[in-house]
């Protein structure tokens, strides 16, 4: 009798567990619905045009994200609630990956970057892309500000090789993004990706409203670029430290030299801070109703 009761209880337990697992699997496979945006989104790093109910959450980096699209463009909102999860995004950029074959695997993506440049560097890039600027235009750029932030989106392959380089020419239909901190919300990143942009490299990646696909997000990591940038920053700090030490010697003050072990420890700390983040999600692009 006890054996029958035990077997029945075990069977019920397995049945409940199986149903729960089935429910979890089904929930995981449900794609995120993109929202239809009849009016083009103003890509300015703000979140006010977005419906809060459309946000999904990824707990591993305390981030929220959402998708929207119209007949021509897809938009992505990505909010970092805690700045420590930005990792080394300043050096690696933020890549949005696409896969139309139903796999969590890199195929093609857009690597978005924010970079600070001097007025002269901005002028040089503009002239390289658009041809010579008039002297009046150059002077206006220099007078407005000594430095500028430029926002670009390069089309890359799975090895991060650039296939189509970004341009500052605002007359072209190109990927775009902006980011800015908003008090009480977080650090907001807003992206625009023309649906036709991937056709330049593969006819299989002609995106259109109503289509389902896999989208991946990736940023951070202790890449070679990050290592070189950090090494340069450390070298600059070393020069400044030596200059301060020389000044201290000239007035007879006691000074302390940073040891190699200190520098190695700093690099190890930076490696831990420059963590790589990546995840995939299923998305269904919206159709006009």
* Rounded-to-integer distance, Cα 70 and Cα 39, Å: 8
pLDDT attached to residue 108: 96
Judge whether residue 257 has pLDDT over 60: no
* Rounded-to-integer distance, Cα 272 and Cα 87, Å: 9
Q: Are 108 and 96 in contact (CB under 8 A)?
A: no
Judge whether residue 113 has pLDDT over 80: yes
Judge whether residue 143 has pLDDT over 90: yes
pLDDT digits (tens, 9 = 90+) for 190-216: 999 999 999 888 888 889 999 999 999
Q: Which residues contact 253 (CB under 8 A, 6 or more apart)?
A: none
Measured CA to CA in angstroms, residue 154 lies from 73, 110, 112, 123 at distances of 16, 5, 7, 20
- Mean of the pLDDT values across residues 45-49? 91
- Mean of the pLDDT values across residues 115-135? 91
Judge whether residue 125 has pLDDT over 70: yes
Q: Where are the domains of the chain?
A: 25-115+150-221+278-284, 228-267
Query: What pTM was computed for the model?
Result: 0.77
pLDDT attached to residue 178: 95
CA 178 to chain CA centroid, nearest Å: 11
* Rounded-to-integer distance, Cα 241 and Cα 256, Å: 10
Secondary structure E strands in the chain? 32-33, 35-36, 56-58, 63-69, 73-80, 94-99, 108-118, 147-157, 162-164, 176-182, 186-194, 212-220, 276-284
- Mean of the pLDDT values across residues 275-285? 96
The residue ranking higher by pLDDT, 22 or 219, is 219
pLDDT attached to residue 26: 35
Q: Given pLDDT bands bounded at 50, 70 and 90, which one contains residue 33?
A: very high
Residue among 214, 228, 231, 234 at smallest CA distance from 278 = 214
- Mean of the pLDDT values across residues 161-183? 86
The residue ranking higher by pLDDT, 127 or 241, is 127
DSSP, collapsed to helix, strand or coil, labels residue 76 as strand
- Mean of the pLDDT values across residues 79-96? 94
Q: Which CATH number fits domain 25-115+150-221+278-284: 2.60.40, 2.10.260, 2.30.30, 1.10.10?
A: 2.60.40
- Mean of the pLDDT values across residues 34-46? 92
Residue among 90, 96, 91, 105 at smallest CA distance from 78 = 96
**Which range is most confident: 3-12, 139-148, 223-232, 242-251?**
139-148
Q: What is the residue-wise DSSP string for 91-143?
A: HH-EEEEEESSS-SS-SEEEEEEEEEEEHHHHHHHHHHHH-PPPHHHHHHHHH
Q: Which residues contact 258 (CB under 8 A, 6 or more apart)?
A: 238, 241
């Amino acid at each position: 009798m006890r054996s029958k009761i035990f077997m029945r209880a075990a069977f019920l337990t397995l049945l409940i567990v199986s149903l729960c697992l089935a429910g979890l699997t089904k929930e995981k496979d449900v794609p995120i619905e993109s929202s239809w945006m009849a009016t083009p989104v103003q890509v300015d790093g703000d979140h006010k045009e977005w419906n809060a109910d459309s946000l999904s959450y990824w707990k591993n980096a305390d981030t929220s994200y959402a998708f929207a699209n119209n007949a021509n463009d897809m938009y992505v909102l990505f909010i970092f609630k805690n700045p420590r999860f930005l990792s080394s995004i300043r050096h690696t950029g933020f890549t949005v990956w696409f896969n139309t074959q139903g796999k969590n695997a890199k195929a093609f993506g857009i690597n978005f970057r924010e970079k600070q440049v001097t007025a002269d560097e901005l002028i040089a890039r503009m002239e390289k892309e658009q041809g010579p600027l008039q002297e009046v235009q150059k002077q206006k750029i220099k007078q407005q500000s000594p430095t500028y932030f430029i926002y670009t989106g390069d089309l890359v392959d799975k090895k991060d090789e650039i296939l189509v380089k970004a341009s500052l020419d605002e007359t072209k239909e190109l990927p775009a993004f902006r980011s800015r901190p908003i008090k009480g919300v977080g650090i907001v990143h807003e992206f625009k990706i023309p649906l036709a942009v991937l056709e330049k490299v593969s006819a299989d990646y002609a995106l259109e409203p109503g289509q389902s696909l896999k989208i991946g997000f990736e940023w951070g990591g202790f890449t070679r670029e990050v290592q070189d940038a950090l090494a340069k920053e450390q070298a600059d700090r070393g020069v400044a430290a030596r200059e301060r030490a020389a000044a201290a010697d000239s007035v007879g003050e006691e000074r302390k030299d940073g040891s190699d072990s200190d520098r190695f420890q700093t690099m190890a700390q930076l490696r831990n801070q420059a963590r790589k983040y990546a995840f995939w999600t299923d998305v269904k692009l919206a159709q006009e109703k």
